[in-house]
Structure 1
Amino acid sequence: MNPWVMFVLIASLGLGTTITFASSHWLLAWMGLEINTLAIIPLMAQQHHPRAVEAATKYFLTQAAAAALMLFATTSNAWILGEWNIQQLAHPLATAVTMISLGMKIGLAPTHLWLPEVLQGLDLLTGLILSTWQKLAPMILIYQLAPNVAPSVLVMIGLTSTLIGGWGGLNQTQLRKILAYSSIAHMGWMIIVLKYSPNLMLLNLVVYIIMTSTAFLALKFVSATTINMLATVWAKTPTMLTITMLTMLSLGGLPPLTGFMPKWMILQELTSQDLPTTATMMALAALLSLFFYLRLCYNMTLTSGPNTDNNKAPWRLKTTATLPLPTLAIFSLMMLPLTPTAIALMM
């Protein structure tokens, strides 16, 4: 792709998210989401492969439907109550439809079915943008909308997303689909605590973006898209094998890695809100996700690859990592001691 075209598309991604962040009017927020959607579609289809074009088409149709739902709901609220302010979405039907549309935008259950199929058709760097940057604007709108949504609705959406994210990743062999179900599960953890501790949701979002970015960049570095390809990494780049394995365990929430911090704090918050049953079900759902992360680690460390594979030869791999990868890896693995600081900042 032409560098100037790439610059315009990346700048449009930033502009769309910034407009949504800065807006207090539903129409401006909708415009920012639309700019975001239109900017990433050429990045999706740049491979000129039928699978990539199919993924871009599915993403466009899904996001267009979600944007139409959101515009319909907010326009109805303005028609009935005369209010366009994001935090004044008081009509129950408009609130429910808007929540569904924003959930569809980020892949919350039960409107999650598009995410694994779309992510599977993308290259790892575009998948990284879809899994991290594209979730920022809708999550900020959900953050502002949460006071008008019933707590039971958010708890049900969060619990369903976590369970589906755990169950869906169990039988997958494609790493991008596994990361898609991981994203669904992590979104569920954020939504379930949003009503009770919004700052904790923001902390979880930051930690999720750091860990997911590390995972995508590490898989891009070793050119792995399936579980079988992971079995050949140990003979080529042992250091990257270690970083990738620990990042997967951190995504699963295993102590003493960074991913344990948000799960620990969310379970503590749910317990303090007299929701012990919900906290128990979330902990059990986290075990499902941890299982398929452990499966990946098993394939990386305790199995050997086939004699003939389609992977790149070791001398064709890059020998040095780019700056973001080691920096993100440090944050993905070593932030647990900062938990007291995070708690103090949220109080």
Structure 2
Amino acid sequence: VLGGWGGLNQTQMRKVLAYSSIAHMGWTVIIALINPNLMILSLMIYIMTTLTLFMTLNLSSTTKIKSISNLWNKSTPMTMIIFLTLLSLGGLPPLTGFMPKWLILQELIINNNPTMAIVMALSALLSLFFYMRIIYVSSLTMFPTNNNLKHHWFFTQTKTTNMIPTLTTISSMLLPLTPILII
């Protein structure tokens, strides 16, 4: 809950991700004693999703929410990767980030902890809210910029990385493999 509340008023991506880590640490700690295997699965998915986001933000030199807004002019695909990864971190149902939260909530209910499951679900809504707010601000409101990129609309890559497409696919489309992963 602390991670969700703390991330609401942030403008720097580093602080947003720090509060996101606090929120995800709550999910990890809550399931550690009940089902350690589920804790490891949750932690691995979180690490892959966060690594995708860190690599994408680093490649695009994005530090603030305003920078994501300006990234639309440079590289729309990079912006979409950031948005998909943020939604996956928030636990939006069709994406991979929903899987550990769903399994943890099921495990809490099976172990007669419905109150804790409700608190965790509401804290996930807080995190999802500040991710959605970042996406809303970045996509629907453009900060005033001097846009001299009309002829060069492709993102000039100075650094190349082959891991971002793979990690993006894993961090956003692993949900259908849930039955295989929990056996």
Give 1:329's aligned residue: 168
> Equivalents in 2 of 1:246, 1:214: separation in Å?
10
Verify the 8 A CA contact 1:215 1:244 in the aligned structure 2: yes
> Equivalents in 2 of 1:270, 1:277: separation in Å?
9
Give 2:58's aligned residue: 220
* Mapped pair 1:269 → 2:96: no
> Equivalents in 1 of 2:155, 2:86: separation in Å?
25
One-letter amino acid of the structure 2 residue matched with residue 234 of structure 1: W
Query: How much does 1:305 deviate?
Result: 2.6
> Equivalents in 1 of 2:111, 2:67: separation in Å?
44
Query: How much does 1:300 deviate?
Result: 2.4
Verify the 8 A CA contact 2:108 2:114 in the aligned structure 1: yes
One-letter amino acid of the structure 2 residue matched with residue 200 of structure 1: L
Verify the 8 A CA contact 1:230 1:299 in the aligned structure 2: no
Give 2:157's aligned residue: 318
Query: How much does 1:252 deviate?
Result: 0.2
> Equivalents in 2 of 1:194, 1:250: separation in Å?
22
1:1-347 alignment runs, 5 A limit: 163-308=1-146, 317-318=156-157, 321-344=160-183
> Equivalents in 2 of 1:316, 1:201: separation in Å?
38
> Equivalents in 1 of 2:156, 2:38: separation in Å?
39
Q: Which has the higher contact order (CA 8 A, sep 6+)?
A: 2
> Equivalents in 2 of 1:265, 1:300: separation in Å?
31
Query: How much does 1:314 deviate?
Result: 6.7
Which ranges of structure 2 fall in alignment gaps of 5 or more residues?
A: none
> Equivalents in 1 of 2:179, 2:83: separation in Å?
26
> Equivalents in 1 of 2:89, 2:10: separation in Å?
17
Structure 1 SS opposite 2:83: helix
One-letter amino acid of the structure 2 residue matched with residue 292 of structure 1: F
Give the TM-score of the pair, scaled to structure 2.
0.93
> Equivalents in 1 of 2:139, 2:93: separation in Å?
19
Deviations 1:288-324 (A, max 9, x none): 1001100111122111132259xxx977841774111
Query: How much does 1:327 deviate?
Result: 1.0
Structure 1 SS opposite 2:9: coil
Deviations 1:254-286 (A, max 9, x none): 010000000000000000000001100100010
Verify the 8 A CA contact 2:70 2:145 in the aligned structure 1: no
> Equivalents in 2 of 1:290, 1:238: separation in Å?
22
- The RMSD of aligned alpha carbons is 1.8
> Equivalents in 2 of 1:278, 1:191: separation in Å?
12
Give the TM-score of the pair, scaled to structure 1.
0.50
Give 1:10's aligned residue: none
Structure 2 SS opposite 1:169: helix
Structure 1 SS opposite 2:74: coil
Verify the 8 A CA contact 1:245 1:300 in the aligned structure 2: no
Give 1:29's aligned residue: none
Structure 1 SS opposite 2:72: coil
Q: Which runs of 4+ in 1 moved over 2 A?
A: 313-317
> Equivalents in 2 of 1:315, 1:287: separation in Å?
35
